[in-house]
Structure 1
Amino acid sequence: MWIFFSTLFLFFFTIITTFLAILTASTSQALHPDELNALGEIATTLGIKRLNLSDGDPCFSRTLNIGFVSDEMKNTIACDCSFNNNMTCHITELILMSISLSGKLPPELAKLQYLQNITLVRNYLSGTIPVEWASMPYITSIKLSANNLSGPLPTWLQNFKNLKILGIEGNQFSGTIPDELGNLTNLTKLHLASNKFIGRLPVTLARLVNLEEFWISDNNFNGTIPGYIGTWSRLQKLFLHASGLKGPLPEAVARLENLVDLRISDTTGINFFPNISSKVIATLILRNVGLSGSVPSYIWNMSKLNRLDLSFNKLTGELQEVQQAPPHTYLTNNMLSGNVESASVYLHSKSVIDLSYNNFSWSSSCRDKSNINTYRSSYLQNSLLLPCAGPTNCSKYQRSLHINCGGGNVQIKTSSGKITYQADNSTTGAATNHHLENWGISNTGDFTDDTSHDDTYIISTNLTPSGDYPDLYKTARRSPLSLVYYAFCLENGAYNVKLHFVEIQFLDEELNSRLGRRIFDVYVQGELFLRDFNIKEEANGTLKPVVKVAKAVNVTDHTLEIRLYWAGKGTVLFPKRGNYGPLISAISLCHSKNTSPMPMEKTKYTYYPLIFGVTGALVAIILLALGLYAQKRCRGDTNMRERDLRAQCLQTVWFTWRQLQAATNNFDQANKLGEGGFGSVFKGELTDGTIVAVKQLSSKSRQGNREFVNEIGMISGLNHPNLVKLYGCCVEKNQLLLVYEYMENNSLALVLSEKSSPKLDWAARKKISVGIARGLEFLHEGSMIKMVHRDIKTTNVLLDGNLNAKISDFGLARLREEEHTQITTKIAGTMGYMAPEYVLWGQLTEKADVYSFGVVAMEIVSGKSNTTPRGSADHVSLINWALMLQQKGYILEIVDPTLEGDFNSKEAVRMINVALVCTNSSPSLRPTMSEVVQMLEGVIEIAQVMADPGLYGDDWSMSKLKDNDTHGSSSMSGVTDQTTMTMKFSVSGSDLYPESVISNSTVEFPSSSV
């Protein structure tokens, strides 16, 4: 018994002694007072309002308890209390993730001199990386991914000699990668993806031999993939999705033996399949990189390979000998062939395999498998669409189709009646081909990157989207990579395709997802319709519908196809790491001559009684029409015009004359914005408070009528942030009216003429120039209907309240026939802006717009109009003046003196050089507008500008033409031996906001200081 009590006593004595020792040690340890004060300052800068440090020493329990955040994020402020013989504590880790911090990066962190780990991932922090951080000696990890940080990457980062992890993915950092980054030789992870970096990767990065992860996707780098990456023997993950780098893939990179994850997509130059040496590779993505030839046999023997994506290439060969495939295998959009139906990979595979868009042969007895997508996988015409779906004979040919993507049946009421959008809520997978009676979907891609098991290809919201039909936008179908909708029982003809979008996943109300960017491309009938489409940006917010219309889409084989494709750009981090590819809410197809939503029956027999009856009825109708012709002749033109317009099934609102009369207060002169070439423009306010500009075209001009129809046809199908938005039109009471968005700051010409405010600083001028270039890029290359504007000038560039540039006046636009030069016998444009080849020979291509843009860009830089000044034979135009200054070495003297020297000289020189290259007299030497955008943004180098006025427009022949331009129009005969060409020069200013800007005004150019 005594032994028992002695043992018990010793046990309790030990416990109590240990507790007292811990208590004494704990109470004797304290956080350094400077760091305690710094914590309060840091909390203020970060925007933390609930950090309470008044309850005692935050290092009492070695970690600061952040009670207001989710425990699953493992947020903490950790202390190390081993200093000064365990008497002093210092903060070593600051981890605050996904708690909606909306402040700046705190310079006060530099006061935590023992800090090793800074993690502020997935917040809403803005600004740059503070230079004060350079003084922290022990930093090993900086993770700032998924914020709104900007500016160049600081060169002083090289001070962090111990840095192992640098993660700044998913921000707005820009500029080139500094050479000094190569001095961080201890780096193991370098994550730079989803920023705005440009230029070539510096050769100094070759020193980073300890790198294990290198992520640079979704940037604007140029050059080829560096060979020195092959010297990083420890590299495990290499991500190059849409990085801007081009192939080939260096052999040394392919030979890296520790590669686990290699992802390269959406580039060119990787023409031959690399010889991958790694035996541990789990993910191999070589998508849309230009691969040709056959798939090497060793690929199918990689035991660790889990995901293989070789889609959207030019691979050939057969798969008969393939015994097994990786669990996720994507071979879509290649030229693979052979009879894969009897191969083991097809018969017995449990893998998800996408074989769509290939040239395989199938028997009539083959059937779809739920894990294998065979859509359009056959070269045979009679089974091209669904080779293994069984009979797909159409009992009816449809003239319209409406789909509620991701949702059930929805019925909406329109002015023309009720329309039912069919349900599209079936379950799909990573390689799915699901079809109904006359339409279907084909999906490619998986969600394995987000490590979640509850992902779905359909998403929904409990919130109510704005607009007239919110029920149509509460659900959406999405895809990680490629989503195809196809209709296969359509009557042949031209269709108008409406694509309905709304962003319901990245919500503005949630800071941690507000920064999400969903960017994808859209193809209609195989033609690029939308490039780099961003729903949220287009709608200017979330839960706001956007409708895109592809007009006159030709259907010749009863089949229409819409593809949405993720091209490697945009978010992969918000609200968590994963795939955020294309998303669509609804689709509507309408035959351009459709008069009824009911389908047309497919007939196989001839019914003579019916034919005779219909013929008799038609004869009666014709006779009746002839009898009424004289009575209705005076109204015929108006009715025909209205029928022509409505037959186009345009995506516009049809306003009544009474609505617009009320909006403009009976077209009160007090609301008149100006007089245009085709009529007047009035400011109006609709019943919902929307301010609009109403363009009232003159009904007396037959040409005005034709231009009205032309402009409606062009604008209604176009929607871009840098094009003036058309709200609708009115054809009533012999009136022709267009309703546009109202532009608060009127025209660029008016602002540059200093006749209105605001004044343009340099940043605004650069923003306007890039905006105009992007608008033209869309017209030339991005829209489904390619067109040349023909009349780009400062009066046709309008500015909204935020000085965003928007191109107006498509009344003179001509459709651009692909790969063909247009020769026109009627020249329409404005003197001083027209390209010489257009004026002299009527040669019209998109390069004519490029020339006009060059003139406008020079006007923006100089603040002057490109007109011939009086009393100076030396200065024919702005372009010649700039060339003269360039020859003398004083190019910056052309910059608008009202800026008073407050401008970025490097950017000014770049813009002037872009203007000079654009106005080269040879169209073939002018860049495309997409190249112009990249030049202005510094992404690519500007072609060498030859300082020879003879190579640029306006001097060699335009001066003679200008001498003849005395009344706003002139004619020129004998331009060629056999052609007489009439020239029409517009002097009306802007046809939308024609506010007293005279295009033939005289401007004196100052003499050079030379």
Structure 2
Amino acid sequence: MKKRCSSSGGGGHGSQLLWVVIAWSWIAADRAQAQQAPRTDPVEVAALNAILGRWGTKPPTAWNTTGDPCSGTAVDDTDIDNDPVINPGIKCDCSYSNRTVCHITRLNLQQNYLTGPVPSFIGKLTSMQYLSLAINALSGPIPREIGKLTDLRSLALSMNKFVGPLPEEIQTLTKLEQLWASDNEFTGLIPDYFGIFSDLEILKLQGNNFDGPIPASLSNLSKISSLRIGDLTSGTSSMDFVSNMTSLNVLILRNCRIYGNLTAMNFSQLLTLTYLDLSFNSITGEIPPALLNLSLLDSLFLGSNNLSGNLPDNIGPSLSVMNLVWNNFVVDSSNGRASTRGSDKNSYEPDDANLLGASYYVTSSTRWGVSNTGRFMESPNATNLIYTPFQFNNTLDTKLFQTARMSPSSLRYYGIGLKNGFYDVKLQFAEIFFPDNQTWKSVGRRIFDIYIQGELREKDFDIKKDTNGKSYTVVQRQYNVEVTKNFMEIHLFWAGKGTCCIPFLQGHYGPSISALSVSSYGEEDPGQKKNNTGGGNASNRKISLIVGIVVGVVVLVSLALTGAFVWRQKGKRSELGMEELLSIVGRPDIFSYGEIKSATNNFSPQNILGKGGYGPVYKGKLFDGSMVAVKQLSATSHQGKREFMTEIATISAVQHRNLVKLHGCCIENNTPLLVYEYLENGSLDQAIFGKTNLNLDWSTRFDICVGIARGLAYLHEESSTRIVHRDIKASNVLLDADLNPKISDFGLARHYKDNMTHLSTGVAGTLGYLAPEYAMMGHLTEKADVFAYGIVAMEIIAGRPNFDESLEDDKKYLLGSVWRLHESMETLKILDPNLSEFNEEEVVRVINIILVCTMGQPQQRPSMSKVVSMLTEDIEMTEVDTNMRPSYVPHLQLKSGSDSFFASYSSGSSTQQTSGSQVSSGNNTKSQRETFPLVLSTHSSSEFDEGRR
């Protein structure tokens, strides 16, 4: 028994021992594995060190720089986003490969004043989910390697100096939930691929230089809660894409060229909306009750649209700030700050009321009023007044500039009941918030526009740029202004450029001004006044009318300026011939003859750019260093007063990147002068079939076609009045330094009202570019410009004029050749043989557009906005109907309409306005001839003038 017992006990002990050995082996293995701490992926370590080294940035002391980066605060619960001590900061995920490998998932580098481009090494951090490069001074384009970070949920690029378009590789980041790209210098179209980011909740693009339109694909962003886009420079958009964004909390589409009826929007489904800004668009209709009744809506900005009708009686319980075209709300405000005597001996009255987001007031003398609209998004309680104790080096009036008035959106000053006449307006600025020291705060940019009497005087005005980047330095702008209805308006407008959020989560952007003064010239010509400093007693030229914010001001709605208004009456003098010029809405600056004489070195022959039928064009340099082209109309010129005034009135009333800019004019000494911007690369006709060395490739030619189309679309559909140019041709398209096209020569332009279907008018223009219905019947619509555009685009693609006598008979007339080649399925033979590389699909598309633009019936031709959309593939091509091709008269040959750049540039209108059916062909080059592309009767040829005399 004992033996059995002993034997049995020995077997049980052996089994137990075996299990103990196995258990200990497990424990030992676990301990061994535990002792093997997870290590950061060495590729990511190298990439991180390279990135920080490139930017000269050292990791914080909280990092384990002697060991593995994925340790300490990188793996514990520390909040690196809100701890300034841990900056730069990373977070890691060490759950990979059975907890032996760590990957960097979060990198925060914001507010480190990093400079230079983003290294391509960033693409090595492939497990990154949150990347913040915001609030630095990084520059250059975003590297394409960013597309390798396919796990990214949040990408913050805001408040830097990034340039160029957003790379296409970003479309691979399909998990994005937040994209912050505001306050940079990005350009190009807003990417259509944003529509594939189905999880996107925040998209901020304002404060850049993007082109429109807003892509319709954004309608796929059903989860988005904050969408901010502003200041699009081209294109038009509807609001249809907003319909599916039912999670919206903040929607800002400010100055985005949006059109459409507001009542078409179903606001009742935007139940979470708290902030809506659709200011400065072209929205029509009434304000729907569903919008004002949104229960969470706090701020509503619909100013500067085309809204009409009555306001609904009831508004939602949360709505506290509202701007509807002008202003609302009545409050009282007064102040007692003493006036300041300036070094110019004028008394500047204070304006130091901290006004609300949409308000207006009038001084107690009812002489001046001010309006302010907008709310600082990141700091709703921010003050509209800023102060500095610093002294200013370039002024004796430091006290005037130590305070400034800001506005988050729009700041207007109104002169009320002023005497009609001419005024000298001086606006004085100083940047007192963004410092000169090399910190992230100094990268702040304040960019706004200046309008006076509705005319854009300064586009993208940047105070610090005018002072070579220095703060606490005074900048002054001086303008000649006409008052015709006892009313003056000075408007400072933030279109969305610059930075919106520097300092972080505070409001210090938008227009800012420190002081202004207004002096009356009476009824005299301010241009003449520049050269006449004598006459009259100074004491008789001033009156003690001080306008501004004074004690006991009544605030009727909300606005303001810290600084001053000064009113002075100066000596009176009149000038014959000025009345009509000064009555033009949006008139340009009036230069004295002495200024132009000095700019052109006394009209030196060495400064002549070229000559044309209406006189020479001179290259000039103004006193501020800017280059101009001065068109001098000769005494024998056939351009009359009407064409001269038409050109000034038309081009002064429109502003577009594809229209030539008229700086001003001079009508002294019976020698009319027009002062244009100087365009380095001359005219399109010289670039295409002249003797220049530009050698335009296909991409450039395509961009030129798009640019011309956009300029015409603006004239026809987007400017304040409908305008038909009437003389679109290659010589009337100028090219700037970057080969951007600008339409010029508005002497024959015609305005007409929206309710008019057409104008019946005497025919004017250039043979070879005239639409059939216009040339035959004087029936003028925008479709005449569409036809001419088709001819110009044809010349761009073919690299030859629309008529070339040196070619065979069946090839002399370009338009006929294009149609014949299209009908014979040989479209690509149209292309300039000098183009060795081209996009065949784009070429065919452009040629098809040319054909529909040159159809014989105007109703068959597309609008220019549709042409733009077809070129950019936003809409499908219109089918080419070969039955609508125009007819030709090959036996009728006249001189070519493709006159040279300088001949066109130097003509007030490059072709003469004629009565009846007379047309000037517009060229002095007798070796070239053209045909007129339409059917004429046998008696018609005698009705056309052979050219400019």
Normalised-by-shorter TM-score class: 0.5 to 0.7
| Residues 176-575 of structure 1 aligned to structure 2 (within 5 Å) | 177-178=192-193, 181=196, 187=199, 189-191=201-203, 193-194=205-206, 201-202=216-217, 205=220, 211=223, 213=225, 215=227, 217-218=229-230, 225=240, 229=244, 235=247, 237=249, 239=251, 241=253, 268-271=261-264, 274-275=267-268, 278=271, 282-283=274-275, 292=286, 295=289, 299=293, 302=295, 306-307=298-299, 313-314=307-308, 316=310, 319=313, 325-326=317-318, 328-330=320-322, 332-333=324-325, 355=328, 368-370=330-332, 426-436=353-363, 437-447=366-376, 449-451=377-379, 453-456=381-384, 477-491=405-419, 534-535=460-461, 555=485, 558-559=486-487, 572=500
Distance in 2 separating the partners of 1:646 and 1:521: 20
Aligned partner of 2:905 in structure 1 is none
Aligned-pair distance for 1:1000? 3.4
Instruction: Tell me which amino acid in the other structure corresponds to 1:268.
Output: N
Q: Which residue of 2 aligns with 1:143?
A: 156
> Could you tell me whether the CA contact under 8 Å between 1:409 and 1:420 is conserved in 2?
yes
Query: Could you say what secondary structure the match of 1:450 adopts?
Result: coil
Secondary structure of the 2:834 match is: helix
Corresponding residue of 1:56: 66
Kindly tell me: are residues 823 and 870 of structure 1, through their superposed partners in 2, closer, same or farther at Cα, counting changes over 3 Å? farther
Separation in structure 2 between the aligned mates of residue 107 and residue 800 of structure 1, nearest angstrom: 33
Partner of 1:862: 798
1:35 is the counterpart of 2:44 = yes
- Asked if 1:946 corresponds to 2:880, the answer is yes
Give the Cα separation in 2 of the matches to 1:95 and 1:890. Answer: 58
Task: Return closer, same or farther for 1:90/1:775 CA change in 2, 3 Å cut-off.
Answer: closer
Quick one: structure 1 residues 646 and 100, their matched pair in 2 at CA, closer, same or farther if it must change by over 3 Å? Answer: same
- Mapping 1:596-611, distance limit 5 Å: none
Q: CA deviation at 1:914?
A: 4.1
In structure 2, the residue matched to 1:809 is: 745
Residue of structure 1 in register with 2:550 after alignment: none
Evaluate the alpha carbon distance shift between residue 767 and residue 28 of structure 1 in structure 2; reply closer, same or farther with a 3 A threshold. same
Code of the residue aligned with 2:318 in structure 1: it is P
Q: Secondary structure at the match of 2:691?
A: coil
User: Aligned in 2, Cα 1:779/1:703: closer, same or farther, shift over 3 Å?
Assistant: same
Aligned-partner residue type, residue 384 of structure 2: T
Q: Distance in 1 between matches of 2:857 and 2:49?
A: 64
- Superposed, 1:18-167 pairs within 5 Å as 31-43=40-52, 47-48=55-56, 56-57=66-67, 59=69, 62-63=72-73, 71=84, 74-79=87-92, 90-123=103-136, 124-128=138-142, 130-131=144-145, 133-134=147-148, 139-145=152-158, 148=162, 151=165, 154=168, 164-167=177-180
- SS of residue in 2 equivalent to 1:981: coil
Structure 1 residues 90-138: Cα deviation after superposition (integer angstroms, max 9, x where no partner):
533211124454544444234335433222234435435535753x675
Q: Is 1:828 aligned with 2:764?
A: yes
Distance in 2, matches of 1:718 and 1:538, equals 27
| C-alpha distance in structure 2 between counterparts of 1:710 and 1:290, whole Å | 30
Whether the 8 Å contact between 1:216 and 1:243 is mirrored in structure 2 is no
Contact 1:150 1:172 in 2 (8 A): yes
The one-letter amino acid of 1:488's match is I
* Alignment partners' CA distance in 2, 1:480 and 1:754: 49
Structure number with the bigger relative contact order (C-alpha 8 A, sep ≥ 6) is 2
Cα distance change, pair 946–145 in 1 and its aligned pair in 2 (3 A)? same
Other-structure match for 1:839: 775
Residue 267 to residue 645, structure 1, CA distance change in 2 (3 Å) = closer
CA 1:707 to 1:293, structure 2 compared with 1: closer, same or farther past 3 Å? closer
| Correspondence for 2:12 | none
* Residues paired across the two proteins, number: 808
Shift of the 444–712 alpha-carbon distance from structure 1 to 2, 3 Å rule, reads: closer
Cα distance, 1:747 vs. partner? 1.9
Specify the code of the residue in structure 2 equivalent to 1:944. Answer: T
> How far does residue 881 in structure 1 lie from its aligned partner after superposition?
3.0
**Deviation string for 1:446-500 (max 9, x for gaps)?**
22x2136443267999899999x99999987553345444333145x68899797
Amino acid at match of 2:374: G
Contact in 2 for aligned 1:143/1:167 (Cα 8 Å): yes
Q: Shift of the alpha carbon at 1:870?
A: 5.5
Q: Does the Cα contact within 8 Å between 2:243 and 2:266 map onto a contact in 1?
A: no
In the alignment, the residues of structure 2 paired with residue 477 and residue 644 of structure 1 have an alpha-carbon distance, to the nearest angstrom, of 36
Go from structure 1 to structure 2 and tell me whether the alpha carbon gap of 1:817 and 1:181 turns closer, same or farther (over 3 Å shift).
Answer: closer
- Structure 1 match to 2:589: 652
What residue number does 1:904 align with? 839
Question: Aligned in 2, Cα 1:887/1:431: closer, same or farther, shift over 3 Å?
Answer: same
AA partner of residue 50 (structure 2): E
- Whole-angstrom distance in 2 between the partners of 1:581 and 1:87: 49
- Identify the residue that residue 339 of structure 1 maps to in structure 2: none
Q: How much has 1:670 moved relative to structure 2?
A: 4.2
Deviation at 1:676, TM superposition (A): 0.8
What is the DSSP-based 3-state SS (H/G/I as helix, E as strand, rest coil) of the residue aligned with 1:883? helix
Aligned mates of 1:532, 1:653 — CA distance in 2: 16
Cα distance in structure 2, aligned partners of 1:790 and 1:532: 29
Residues 724 and 807 in structure 1, CA contact (< 8 A), matched pair in contact too: yes
**Alpha-carbon separation, structure 2, partners of 1:841 and 1:42:** 69
Distance (Å, rounded) in 2 between the aligned partners of 1:748 and 1:694: 19
TM-score norm. by structure 1 comes to 0.64
Query: Are the equivalent residues in 2 in contact too, given 1:104–1:126 (CA < 8 A)?
Result: yes
**2:829 matched to 1:893?**
yes
Query: How has the CA–CA distance of structure 1 residues 355 and 772 changed in structure 2, closer, same or farther, with 3 Å as cutoff?
Result: same
Q: Percent identity?
A: 29
Secondary structure of the residue that 1:879 maps to in structure 2?
A: helix
Deviation, structure 1 residue 900: 0.8
Does the CA-based 8 Å contact 1:181-1:204 persist in structure 2? Answer: no
Tell me the amino acid that sits aligned with residue 912 of structure 1.
I
Give the secondary-structure state (helix, strand or coil) at the position aligned to 1:751. helix
Contact kept? 2:421, 2:482, Cα under 8 Å: yes
Q: 1:32 to 1:327 in 2, by over 3 A?
A: same
Contact 1:174 1:196 in 2 (8 A): yes
TM-score by length of 2: 0.67
Aligned AA for 2:880?
A: M
The offset of 1:910, in angstroms, is 4.2
Mapped contact 1:672–1:682 kept (Cα < 8 A):
yes
What is the CA-CA distance between 1:755 and the residue it aligns to?
0.4
Structure 2 unaligned segments of length 5 or more: list them.
1-33, 527-540, 546-573, 900-914, 933-949
Distance 1:652 1:36 in 2: 60
How much is the aligned-residue C-alpha RMSD, in angstroms? 5.8
Q: Aligned to 1:675, what secondary structure does the other structure show?
A: strand
Query: Are the structure 2 counterparts of residues 821 and 665 from structure 1 closer, same or farther at C-alpha, using a change threshold of 3 Å?
Result: same
SS at match of 1:330: strand
**Equivalent position SS for 1:440:** strand
Structure 1 residue 866 displacement after superposition: 1.5
Structure 1 distance, partners of 2:213, 2:846, is 18
> Alignment partner of 2:847: what SS?
helix
Structure 2 vs 1, CA of residues 60 and 271 (structure 1 numbering), >3 Å: closer, same or farther? closer
Is contact 1:266–1:568 with CA below 8 Å preserved after alignment? no
- Post-superposition shift, 1:673? 2.5
Segments of structure 1 that go 5 or more residues without pairing to the other structure are: 1-24, 246-264, 335-353, 357-367, 372-388, 390-405, 602-637, 969-978, 989-995, 1004-1010
